[in-house]
Amino acid sequence: MKKYIIIIVCMLLFAVVGFSQNLTGNVFEMHNGEHKMPIPGANVYWLNADKGTVTQADGTFEIAVPDTYPATLVVSFVGYQSDSTTLKSMPNKPLQIELKSNVDLKEFEVVEKEATTKIDIVNPLLVEKLNKKEFEKAACCNISESFETNATVDVNFTDAVSGTKKIQMLGLDGIYTQIQAENLPLIRGLSAAYGLTFVPGTWAESIQIIKGAGSVVNGYESITGQINIEMLKPDDSENLFVNVYGNEKGRVELNIHGAQKLNEKWSTMSLAHVSNQSIEWDMNDDSFLDMPIKTQYNFFNRWKYRGKKFMSQFGFRGVYDELEAGQNRITNENRLFKIGVTTKQFEVFNKNGFLFPEKKYKSIGIIQNFKYHSHQSNYGDKKFNAEQTSWYFNSIYQTIIGNTNNTIKFGGSMQYDLYDKNYNDSLFGREEVVPGAFAEYTYTGNKSALVLGARGDYHNMYGAFFTPRLHYKYNFTQLSAWRFSVGRGFRTANPFIESASVMASSRNVVTEELNPEIAWNYGTSLTHNFELFKKEMTFSTDYYYTDFENQVVIDMENPNEVVFYNLDGKSFSHSLQVELHVRITEQLELRTAYKFYDIQTDYKSGRKTKPLVPTNRAFMNIAYATNFDKWKFDLTGQWFGTSRLPSTETNPADYQIPSRSLSYFMFNGQVTRAFKHFEVYVGLENLTNFTQDNPIIAANDPFGSNFDASLIWGSINGRITYAGIRYKFNKL
């Protein structure tokens, strides 16, 4: 009887399969940008379903269609970035799916019209990807300004005189975010204050923003998240790209990129940037320039070699940046308050990948860079000069455990930093040597995924420390992902450069002996893609809690001084973000977001909320594009709630400010017209012309005891009109 039941079941299954419709396709990678190489053994399955298969020797696959649409088809293979394809209906031809090697650090998505910013529901980590089209919404001009159309990363002015902008994540300064370029250190040490201004926006291919604890593979310094900037690649870029930008305030910029494919294995690319601000502006008539006089020269050259078993990328970058700001006319003394910052930076990098064509799940990566950074600055009578020499090395081995659902990475790293600093007449510096080892296990299932990592490092000054991190993701439905993460971060502080804004004041700088900053980050998020009223929507919400074991407290509660000391008590941050992305039509998109921050620290004078950070924020971006992107219209609006301001009660009445800032709106807009080989764009920044009233305390007496240009909570520039042209050319 039993055997008959088995036969009947088999016949029924055969009948179901025979009458069901199957989806076919081909999975491959591009070799030298020209030839398709099949990927056998790749996993192909429907997200949150039990239907799956693997590709054949020729890379083809056949899989039963899903029960309902829309449905997400996932293709993964160790050594390659996973592909997630959302289908609304049965396609009328086989799918062609290209996977990109992890060594290339690139991501591939099949979409009807690619969104300029997208949250991945496949990756166990909460990753938001911004592509080149997102950067073009804010045509000017460096990476820090490119985040102004993004809800996750906050952009603020550092002070009222240098014109420099900084970023924040989860309400905390960007120094707690590990910022890398292609997984190599980019912003750390002396580059903390101005480093993002040294990366032109046109140089970036994409940016991945990871909230919370990041991967241990990339180091131990991530506390609030990681930002990885993928630069343009020589084998996947225009042969010639030119961007010319200018605004009504006299700022002009020129970017020129040239890429050349030398043969099937070799390609090279050079990127050059020149910018200048030479016109003096003082719109509020306080004798201080609203924006600095500035010149920057920036050059980047890279080479790429790709063979069947080995690939390599190497190159160098050099930066010269000169900034002058301060008074343009004398007030009550026979001298001017001047600010000058000169930066020289040189970097050499190398990335090698060893491939195993017969075992595509296996790879070895070795990356390293050498960087020299010189910072020379003066703020009135204060002088801070410093040099940093750094070397970074990381080796990564990746393979599987049993099958491709279980992968592991492990390796070793070395971070070396030599600092030589001089503040006024005080000489100080340090040498940091930090060798380390790490391991990271990843499990990938149909509905859940887990990343469990740990690393151990030894600091020559502070001893051994341990960095555990965990990421877990569960898909409730085909288009929903819930995530949880926890991890620990460790970093050493450079307070003089990381808080350079306080130099633009008469405050006396007091520094105690500082210990490393250590914090735990806990986070959870929910991402859900759905349709409502026949409109595609993505809803995302996340909450993160950052708890410091030790923090370098920046105490500005006494208007006559700024004190840096170790935390004695509690310091924590609560961050909540809710975001909705609606594709109203194929041409019209809307993104809205709300953020809430509760950041508190125990100062010597008691527990207080973090100053100059609004508790509430709101964000909106509307983007419209005609067919073939011939016309593009973008409007970004932000609302900033009130924030606490440091106390100025002991100042004379004329030099006191309120205890809280005002709430305000900011709007930026841009229109782009595309032609065959070039685009023309015009835009407005700060449409409502909102500026912070009297941003400089005691501007008439900059060498007096009450002068302070560091308490910035709003815009210091008025409305700015700009225009530019982008030219793109590819050989036929």
- pLDDT per residue as tens digits for the range 137-183: 876 678 888 888 889 999 888 877 777 788 899 999 999 999 999 99
Amino acid residing at 337? F
Amino acid residing at 677? H
Sequence-distant (6+) residues with CB within 8 A of 675 are none
Cβ neighbours around 508 below 10 Å, total? 11
Tokens of 626: 């005609």
CA distance 622 to 717: 23
End-to-end CA separation in angstroms for the chain: 70
pLDDT at 34 over 80: no
Contact in structure between 542 and 171 (CB atoms under 8 Å)? no
Q: How many CA atoms lie within 13 A of 93 on its CB side?
A: 2
Highest average pLDDT, of 111-120, 156-165, 403-412, 516-525, comes from: 516-525
| Confidence at residue 121, expressed as pLDDT on a 0 to 100 scale | 81
CA distance 721 to 682: 8
Least confident of 336-340, 372-376, 415-419, 421-425: 421-425
CA distance 643 to 97: 49
Q: What is the DSSP string of 517-556?
A: EEEEEEEEEEEEEEEETTEEEEEEEEEEEEEEEE-EEEE-
Q: Report the candidate in 31, 80, 32, 33 with the shortest Cα–Cα distance to residue 55.
A: 80
Asked whether the bond before 70 is cis by omega within 30 degrees of 0, the reply is: yes
Of residues 374 and 69, more confidently modeled: 374
pLDDT at 681 over 80: yes
Q: How high does pLDDT run on average in the chain?
A: 88
Q: Whose structure tokens read 């001298």?
A: 335
- Cα angle, residue 697 at apex, residues 693 and 699 outer, rounded to 5°: 95
72-86 pLDDT per residue, tens: 888 887 667 778 888
| Confidence at residue 134, expressed as pLDDT on a 0 to 100 scale | 85
* CA torsion, ordered 699, 700, 702, 708, to nearest 10 deg: -30
CA distance 437 to 571: 29
Q: Whose structure tokens read 């971006």?
A: 621
CA distance 239 to 244: 17
pLDDT at 22 over 80: no
Confidence band of 60 (pLDDT split at 50, 70, 90): confident
Q: Whose structure tokens read 């750390």?
A: 188
* CA torsion, ordered 610, 611, 613, 614, to nearest 10 deg: 100
Least confident of 13-27, 145-159, 520-534, 595-609: 13-27
CA distance 504 to 520: 32
Q: How many CA atoms lie within 13 A of 592 on its CB side?
A: 6
User: May I ask the CATH class of domain 2-99?
Assistant: mainly beta
Q: Whose structure tokens read 């949880």?
A: 484
Q: Whose structure tokens read 């993460």?
A: 485
Residue 138 is given by DSSP the state: S
Domain-by-domain residue ranges, the chain? Answer: 2-99, 151-156+159-729
Tokens of 413: 């790293």
Please state, for a pLDDT cut of 90, what percent of the chain lies above it. 64
3-class secondary structure per residue, 84-136: EEEECCCCCCCEEEECCEHHHCCCCCECCCCCCEEECCCCCCCEEEEEHHHHC
CATH 1.10.3720.10 is the classification of domain 151-156+159-729? no
The whole-number average pLDDT for the span 547-574 is 96
695-721 pLDDT per residue, tens: 999 999 999 999 999 999 999 888 999
348 alpha-carbon distance from chain centroid: 22
Contact in structure between 25 and 66 (CB atoms under 8 Å)? no
Residue 65 is given by DSSP the state: P
| Confidence at residue 478, expressed as pLDDT on a 0 to 100 scale | 79
Residue 327 is given by DSSP the state: B
Give me Rg for the CA atoms of the chain: 27
Q: Report the candidate in 170, 130, 110 with the shortest Cα–Cα distance to residue 581.
A: 130
Cβ neighbours around 691 below 10 Å, total? 18
pLDDT at 425 over 80: no
Tokens of 645: 């301001």
Amino acid residing at 19? F
224-242 pLDDT per residue, tens: 999 999 999 998 889 999 9
pLDDT at 20 over 60: no
Residue 563 is given by DSSP the state: E
Q: Is 496 helix (H, G, I), strand (E, B) or coil?
A: helix
Q: Whose structure tokens read 């997400």?
A: 72
Contact in structure between 277 and 291 (CB atoms under 8 Å)? yes
Confidence band of 490 (pLDDT split at 50, 70, 90): very high
| Confidence at residue 157, expressed as pLDDT on a 0 to 100 scale | 81
Phi, psi of 568 (to 5 degrees): -125, 85
pLDDT at 6 over 50: no
Contact in structure between 469 and 493 (CB atoms under 8 Å)? no
CA distance 470 to 452: 5
Phi, psi of 512 (to 5 degrees): -90, 175
Cβ neighbours around 658 below 10 Å, total? 9
CA distance 360 to 362: 5
pLDDT at 568 over 90: yes
pLDDT at 13 over 50: no
Integer angstrom CA distances of residue 526 from 134, 223, 576: 23, 20, 12
Least confident of 62-66, 353-357, 632-636, 667-671: 62-66
Cβ neighbours around 106 below 10 Å, total? 15
Q: Whose structure tokens read 């004695």?
A: 568
| Confidence at residue 64, expressed as pLDDT on a 0 to 100 scale | 80
Phi, psi of 686 (to 5 degrees): 60, 65
Integer angstrom CA distances of residue 69 from 91, 123, 479, 533, 587: 12, 22, 11, 16, 22
CA distance 149 to 619: 9
Tokens of 35: 């030839």
248-299 pLDDT per residue, tens: 999 999 999 999 999 989 999 999 999 999 999 888 889 999 889 999 999 9
pLDDT at 19 over 60: no
